């Protein structure tokens, strides 16, 4: 297929952001649709991004003492029903298995929408004494939620994720774990994905089903909509009581332990696309880009060019993920192709470059060119990749600043959104759910989180005028 | 729990091999049962083995040009029905989703028992020209087959595996891929898991549903039963025709491509246990052992012992997976614990060792002790780990030799099995399915494969006496 055409087929972000997104995920070959409604095929280039995310996050989990396990993918209905709030939250959106082969099952099973119930049953089996605590578990698995409207990566019936599940002797330890993992997510988003996030607590109405407290990180997408990029839940001993999990403490008393869970999903890939992408396609954060440097030989039919490109590839591959495109497509075709695929750095090398022992480096996110000596690549390339990371982070932060509106009245919220477009609204709140609902109804933005970093924007609730308790970050959610 | 007790609770292999197996998987904390019938929870120690298997195999796949993808876990019934032999083979053992939330689905979906149909649909979407071929794909996922009798790792309703799916322009290329991947599996089993395997082709009656040819590697377990450790299938263009996959070749004609698939599963963990284990528990091949060296401090309350143990751990961790057990359990308890867990190498260090700048190394599989200077550990430990690998491979090969019976009559098969116990039987075969069935009926051993390495044991079929075509390897299957 003609590649210029492929790029031209990407709808402009300004014209239709949703269509731009769909075009990018398809044309950059991240996914393909399937006949399984609401489920996608993740293609090699998309899956390689997920593998890089997994690899880095998994290292962070293990460095903080977590171990990977794997629970069954099915949950018997009676097990799902054990914790009342939890089942109420999830039962309406699970897929039910009713038959195995030609036999009707005695009890139907759902495909896990999340695995708290399975972990609880497991804990009850394996935990007896304080010596068995804590257990810091994680699993990388697929889960299913029967969504009505789906979009690749952002909301699909099946998705891939990791779910951490931990159990502790004290509430204090469990709360510390909940916070620690939220911090790890924020660290990962900012320092690996170059995506600024706001850390905060969810309001009561927005908590995970069965949690005492839900923390989240919220990111602002290019179009001004908010995306929940990760969550971390503190359960208290509610699940332990419902599932009869006990341990004998040092005083030899049987008591209930305290639990947490936390997760991020393939949604992060959607977040990357909508945070950094532009009208030419993807812009990938260097740390998770499947290809960090694409080498494009110029005038490759000339003697020595392909050999030099191959030699450079060989050298570079010891410190970055690099590919040479020596196909017979034109350099222009290749430029467009790898721009669309969001490769952070392009290295051009032609006969004149070789003569001068140099090459041209072009950074994807801003198109800047520089001429670099071939002897300096080993320091220049890591520096350029860091420059790209810093550059796209700064750009995303700038976008968020430009689109964050501090408001003291509902009318001001309406005006800001109308004149400046969607974004984060920061406004004070009395803590009353009625005000939360009313703000959403009147302005279209819902509460995203109560940021850990609080500011006192005014003394009164943006909605009812009564004394304010906290500053809330509001937004339109993906 | 008292650990001596834990080891004593392991049934002897000679008394009851099946019970020994169950005891080991439970007591070594590889798995725990769940209330989901036929499905297990894989615990950290078991999952870490799988992670090591994945890591090494995935590297071998990528080194041979394969890319990872992820297809949906569901298959619509109409899609499963497209290839007649395939659906006939799998439909009786799939789990059916009939409801999403409270809604009955218009078409029921099965949970993938294998993903040929999904890959075929995907290929039909993405392949147009010869330039798009080959596609060398793999995925690491969970699959479900509704088995009646289940055993941890060996046969469970849900299991983890990798399934490779490739598509090629020519039959020749696809056949070469099928053979290449079987060779990679055999290489992996022998050089990573220290498990000797026989490579061969399945007979017609034992082929994968929809395949033109199925290749397999067969291993002999400690009890003389055969275990199929991996399979590789050549599909010809049968699936391509059923799913209408075509490409335009260089002559611009629309033609069908040729396909393969190949897989290994968590069953490999069962194979490891039953190939190398003994009455004290697991014996793990060093290359996939979660802990390769366990450091046990002796008289650890004495000054300097724990410090030295920690110092050694620090040093060793740059070249092996090492752990110190500095808990207050006795050295004897620790010896039994890590023997049960199959840790290949124990390093004991006490006050007198420290004085002499030495330590004691004990190899798990044969209990051999050696005294090694602390200055020589960096070469001694990798050498010992290789020694363990070689030692357990030789032992397994010896067991297989001892239990391989070359037979020229059905009566001889019966006699050999009766006097020497279960094992591989090698005998000539005319190629007639009736003889295959009859041998199984009369002797209890079925055809495992037609080994690539053929020998002419006699000119006539072991069953009917007509001219023999091939030597077959027979056995009782797990």
Taking only the tens place, the pLDDT of each residue in B110-160 is: 999 999 999 999 999 999 999 999 999 999 999 999 999 999 999 999 999
Identify the CA nearest to A340 among candidates A14, A5, A16: A5
Asked if the C-beta of B17 comes within 8 angstroms of chain A's C-beta atoms, the answer is: no
Mean pLDDT value across residues A68-94: 94
What mean pLDDT comes out for the span B254-270?
98
Quote the pLDDT of residue B172.
Answer: 98
Answer whether residue A195 is part of any domain: yes
- The reported pLDDT for the residue numbered B308 is 97
Q: Rounding to the nearest 10 degrees, give the CA dihedral for residues B218, B220, B226, B227.
A: -60
Mark which of B399, B421, B436 sits at the end of a domain: B399
Task: Tell me the angle at which helices B433-443 and B410-420 cross, rounded to the nearest 10 degrees.
Answer: 30
**Rg value, chain B, Cα:** 25
- Residue B88 contacts A where some CB pair is shorter than 8 Å: no
Confidence of residue B282 (pLDDT cuts 50, 70, 90): very high
- Note whether A73 contacts B98, CB cutoff 8 Å: no
Domain end among B276, B303, B334: B276
Question: Which band of pLDDT confidence, cut at 50, 70 and 90, is reported for residue A4?
Answer: low
Phi, psi angle pair for A79, to nearest 5°: -75, -40
Residues B160 and B100 in one domain: yes
Mean pLDDT along residues A64-87: 95
Question: What is the edge-to-edge ordering of all strands in the sheet holding A95-100?
Answer: A74-76, A103-111, A95-100, B95-100, B103-111, B74-76
Let me know if residue A357 belongs to a domain. Answer: yes
| Cα separation, A8 vs B247, whole angstroms | 25
- Asked if residue A297 and residue A226 are part of one domain, the reply reads no
Cα of A47 to nearest chain B Cα, Å? 6
Q: Are residues A271 and A156 part of one domain?
A: yes
Angle at B83 (CA atoms; ends B80, B86), nearest 5 degrees:
75
Interchain contact, B92 vs A76, CB within 8 Å: no
Structure tokens given for B121: 């649909």
Rounded to whole angstroms, how far apart are CA atoms B355 and B362? 20
Distance from CA of A102 to the nearest CA of B (A): 6
Mutation site, B46, B74, B123, B167, interface A, largest A CB count within 10 A: B74
Q: Is the pLDDT of residue B3 over 80?
A: no
CATH number of the domain bearing residue A333: 3.40.50.800
Q: Which residues pair with A406 in a beta bridge?
A: A426
> In the beta sheet, which residues pair with residue A16?
none
Assigned token pair, A326: 């020596």
State whether B73 and A39 contact (CB < 8 Å): yes
pLDDT value at residue A284:
98
- Residue A169's domain spans which residues? 3-276
Cβ contacts of residue B80 below 8 Å, gap of 6+? B86, B87, B90, B91, B94, B110, B117
Question: Do A93 and A230 belong to one domain?
Answer: yes
CA distance A403 to chain B (A): 36
Which helix H or strand E contains B7, and what residues bound it? helix B3-8
- Examine residue B410 and state whether it is found in any structural domain, yes or no: yes
Taking an 8 Å cut-off on Cβ atoms, the answer to whether B146 and A96 are in contact is: no
Range list of H helices, B69-211 = 77-80, 84-90, 116-126, 171-191
Do strands A103-111 and A74-76 pair parallel, antiparallel, or not at all (unpaired)? Answer: antiparallel
Alpha helices (runs of H) in B317-432, residue ranges in sequence order: 331-340, 351-355, 377-402, 410-420
A35, A70, A97 member nearest B42 (Cβ):
A70
Q: B344-377: per-residue pLDDT in tens?
A: 999 999 999 999 999 999 999 999 999 999 999 9
The DSSP call for residue B1 is: -
Residues of chain A found within 8 Å of residue B122, distances taken between Cβ atoms: 32, 34, 41
Report how far residue A340's alpha carbon sits from residue A279's, in angstroms, rounded to the nearest whole number. Answer: 9
Q: What is the pLDDT of residue B350?
A: 97
Give the chain B residue whose CA is nearest to the CA of A44: B69
CB contact (8 A) between residue B39 and residue A142: no
Secondary structure of chain A in HEC code, one letter for each residue: CCHHHHHHCCCCCCCCHHHHHHHHHHHCCCEEECCCCCCEEECHHHHHHHHHHHHHHHHHHHHCCCEECECCCEEEHHHHCCCHHHHHHHHHHCEEEEEECCEEEEEEEEECCCCHHHHHHHHHHHCCEHHHCCEEEEEEEEEECCCCCCECCCECCEEEEEEEEEEECCHHHHHHHHHHHHHHHHHHHHHCCCCCCEEEECCHHHCCCCCCEEEEEEEECCCCCEEEEEEEEEEECHHHHHCCCCEECCCCCEECCEEEEEEEECHHHHHHHHHHCECCECCCCCCCCCCCEEEEECCCCCCCHHHHHHHHHHHHCCCCCEEECCCCCCHHHHHHHHHHCCCCEEEEECHHHHHCCEEEEEECCCCCEEEEEHHHHHHHHHHHHHHHHHHHHHHHHHHHHHCEEECCCHHHHHHHHHHHCCCEEEEEECCCHHHHHHHHHHHCCEEEEEECCCCCCCCECCCCCCECCEEEEEECEC
Q: What is the bridge-based pairing of β-strands B213-220 and B198-201?
A: antiparallel
Confidence tier at B86 by pLDDT (50, 70, 90): confident
Does A477 touch chain B if contact means CB atoms closer than 8 Å?
no
Does residue A8 register a pLDDT over 90?
A: no
What whole-number distance in Å separates Cα of residue B79 and Cα of residue A256? 48
Look at the block and give the residue holding tokens 């696309």. Answer: A273
pLDDT tens per residue, range B286-313: 999 999 999 999 999 999 999 999 999 9
Same domain, B418 and B350: no
Closest chain B residue to the Cα of A70, Cα to Cα: B42
CB distance B122–A79 less than 8 Å? Answer: no
Q: Which of B47, B40, B144, B146 is nearest to B93 (CA)?
A: B146
Indicate which of A97, A116, A127, A152 best probes the interface with B, i.e. most B CBs within 10 Å of its own CB.
Answer: A97
Tell me the C-alpha distance between B473 and B178, whole Å: 20
The CA distance from B264 to B50, in Å, is: 11
Q: Is A465 left (phi over 0), alpha (psi -120 to 50) or beta?
A: left
Q: Do B70 and B179 share a domain, yes or no?
A: yes
Q: How many domains does chain A have?
A: 3
Cβ(B346)–Cβ(B362) below 8 Å? yes
Q: Quick check: B98 and A102 CB within 8 A?
A: no
ipTM for the predicted complex comes to: 0.96
Domain-embedded: residue A283: no
Lowest mean pLDDT among A275-279, A331-335, B7-11, B252-256: B7-11
- Across the A/B interface, how many CB contacts are shorter than 8 Å? 155
Cα dihedral across residues A228, A232, A237, A239: positive or negative: positive
Residue B202 has pLDDT above 80, yes or no: yes
| Chain A CB contacts of B146 below 8 Å | 100-101, 103
B109: chain A residues, CB-CB within 8 Å: 36, 95
Within 10 angstroms of residue B117's Cβ, the number of other Cβ atoms is 27
Contacts of B101 in chain A (CB under 8 A): 91-94, 146
By CA distance, what is A113's nearest residue in B?
B101
**Cβ pair B406, B416 in contact under 8 A:** no
The rounded distance, in Å, linking the Cα atoms of B267 and B271 is 6
Q: How many CA atoms lie within 13 A of B132 on its CB side?
A: 17
Does A309 fall in a domain? yes
Q: What is the mean pLDDT of residues A91-95?
A: 93
> Which H or E element spans position B138?
strand B135-144
**Residue B291 DSSP code:** -
- Which chain A residues have a beta carbon less than 8 Å from that of B111? 73, 97, 111
CATH number of residue B62's parent domain: 3.30.930.10
Judge if A175 and A232 occupy the same domain: yes
A72 vs B39, B48, B99: nearest CB: B39
* Residue in the structure block whose two tokens are 């080959």: B134
Residue with tokens 């170059």: A194
- Rg of chain A, C-alpha, whole Å: 25
Are the beta carbons of A75 and A119 closer than 8 angstroms?
no
- Same domain, yes or no, for A120 and A245? yes
Q: How many degrees, rounded to 5, is the angle at CA B262 between CA B261 and CA B267?
A: 145
Q: How far apart are CA B246 and CA B237, in angstroms?
A: 10
DSSP symbols for B401-439: HHTEEE-SSHHHHHHHHHHH-S-EEEEEE-S-HHHHHHH
Domain boundary among A315, A349, A384: A384
Residues of B with Cβ-Cβ distance to A75 under 8 angstroms: 36
How far is the alpha carbon of A122 from chain B, nearest alpha carbon, in Å?
A: 7
Is B283 within the bounds of a domain?
Answer: no
- Taking 80 as the threshold, does the pLDDT of residue A222 lie above it? yes
The CATH number of the domain holding residue A430 is 3.30.110.30
Q: For position B1, what pLDDT does the model report?
A: 43
B284 part of contact set with chain A, CB < 8 Å: no
Kindly state whether A122 is in contact with chain B, defined as any CB-CB distance less than 8 angstroms: yes
Neighbours of A364 (CB within 10 A): 28
Chain B residue at shortest CA distance from A128:
B1
Looking at the structure, do residues A271 and A297 belong to the same domain, yes or no? Answer: no
Question: What's the gap in Å between the CA of B169 and the closest CA on chain A?
Answer: 19
Burial class of residue B86, CB neighbours in 10 A (0-12, 13-18, 19+): buried
pLDDT number for residue A1: 43
> Least CA distance to A118: which residue of chain B?
B34
pLDDT at B61 over 80: yes
Burial class (CB in 10 A: 0-12, 13-18, 19+), B166: buried
Both A150 and A297 in a single domain?
Answer: no
CA atoms within 13 A on the CB side of B372: 23
Residues 151-180 (A) with a CB less than 8 A from some CB of B: 157-158, 160
Q: What are phi and psi of A403, to 5 degrees?
A: -110, 25
User: What's the whole-number mean pLDDT along residues A344-358?
Assistant: 97
Pick from A35, A145, A337 the residue to mutate for testing the B interface (most B CBs within 10 Å): A35
Residue of chain A whose Cα is closest to the Cα of B32:
A122
Confidence class for position B255, pLDDT limits 50, 70, 90: very high
CB neighbourhood size of B251 (10 A): 7
Helix, strand or coil, per DSSP, at residue B132? helix
For residues A146 and A184, state if they share a domain.
Answer: yes
Surface of B (248-277) touching A: CB under 8 A:
none
Taking CA–CA distances from B88, the nearest residue in chain A reads A101
Q: What is the tens place of the pLDDT at every residue in B402-446?
A: 999 999 999 999 999 999 999 999 999 999 999 999 999 999 999
List, as one string, the DSSP characters of B54-73: HHHHHHHHHHTT-EE-B--S
Helices (H), B224-318: 238-242, 267-276, 305-316
Regarding whether B20 and B111 lie in a shared domain, the answer is: yes
CB < 8 Å from A in window 101-120 of B: 101-103, 109, 111, 118
Find out whether A53 and A290 touch, Cβ atoms under 8 Å: no
How far is Cα of residue B291 from the mean position of the Cα atoms in its chain? 20
- d(CA A11, nearest CA chain B) in Å: 21
Q: Could you give the CA distance from residue A398 to residue B477 in angstroms, rounded to a whole number? A: 64
* A187 located within any domain: yes
| Domain-embedded: residue A38 | yes
Residues B257 and B254: their CA atoms lie apart, in Å, by 10
Q: What is the pLDDT of residue B468?
A: 98
Task: For residue B74, list chain A residues with Cβ-Cβ distance below 8 A.
Answer: 36, 39, 95, 158
Residue A148 reports pLDDT greater than 50: yes
């Amino acid at each position: 297929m003609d590649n210029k055409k492929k790029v031209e087929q990407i709808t402009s972000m300004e014209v239709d952001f949703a269509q731009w997104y769909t075009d990018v995920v398809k044309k950059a070959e991240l996914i393909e649709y399937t006949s399984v409604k609401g489920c996608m095929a993740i293609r090699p280039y998309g899956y390689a991004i997920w593998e890089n995310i997994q690899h880095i996050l998994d290292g962070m989990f293990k460095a903080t003492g977590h171990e990977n396990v794997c629970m069954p993918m099915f949950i018997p209905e009676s097990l799902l029903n054990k914790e009342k709030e939890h089942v109420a939250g999830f039962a309406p959106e699970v897929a039910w298995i009713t038959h195995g082969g030609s036999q009707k099952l005695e009890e139907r099973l759902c495909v896990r929408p999340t695995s708290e119930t399975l972990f609880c049953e497991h804990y009850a089996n394996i935990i007896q004494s304080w010596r068995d605590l804590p257990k810091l578990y994680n699993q990388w698995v697929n889960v299913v939620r029967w969504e009505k409207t789906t979009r690749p990566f952002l909301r699909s019936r099946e998705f891939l994720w990791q779910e951490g599940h931990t159990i502790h002797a004290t509430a204090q330890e469990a709360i510390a774990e909940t916070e620690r993992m939220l911090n790890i997510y924020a660290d990962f988003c900012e320092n690996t994905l170059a995506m600024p996030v706001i850390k905060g607590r969810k309001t009561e109405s927005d908590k995970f089903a069965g949690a005492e407290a839900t923390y989240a990180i919220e990111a602002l997408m290019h179009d001004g909509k908010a995306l929940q990029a990760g969550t971390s839940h503190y359960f208290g001993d509610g699940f332990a009581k419902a599932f009869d999990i006990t341990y004998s403490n040092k005083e030899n008393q049987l008591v209930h332990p305290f639990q947490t869970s936390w997760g991020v999903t393939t949604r992060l890939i959607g977040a990357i696309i909508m945070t950094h992408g532009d009208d030419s396609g993807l812009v990938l954060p260097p740390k998770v880009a499947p290809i960090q440097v694409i080498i494009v030989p110029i005038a490759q039919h000339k003697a020595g060019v392909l050999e030099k490109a191959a030699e450079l590839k060989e050298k570079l591959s010891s410190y970055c993920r690099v590919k040479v495109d020596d196909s017979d497509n034109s350099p222009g075709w290749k430029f467009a192709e790898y721009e669309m695929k969001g490769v952070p750095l392009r290295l051009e090398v032609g006969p004149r470059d070789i003569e001068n022992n140099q090459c041209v480096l072009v950074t994807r996110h801003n198109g800047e060119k520089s001429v670099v000596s071939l002897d300096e690549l080993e320091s220049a390339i890591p520096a350029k990749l860091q420059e790209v990371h810093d550059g796209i982070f700064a750009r995303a932060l700038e976008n968020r600043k430009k689109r964050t509106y501090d408001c003291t009245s509902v009318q001001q919220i309406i005006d800001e959104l109308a004149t400046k477009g969607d974004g984060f609204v920061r406004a004070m709140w009395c803590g009353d759910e009625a005000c939360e609902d009313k703000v959403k109804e009147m302005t279209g933005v819902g509460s995203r989180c109560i940021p850990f970093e609080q500011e006192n924007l005014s003394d009164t609730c943006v909605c009812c005028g009564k004394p304010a308790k906290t500053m809330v970050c509001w937004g339109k959610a993906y």
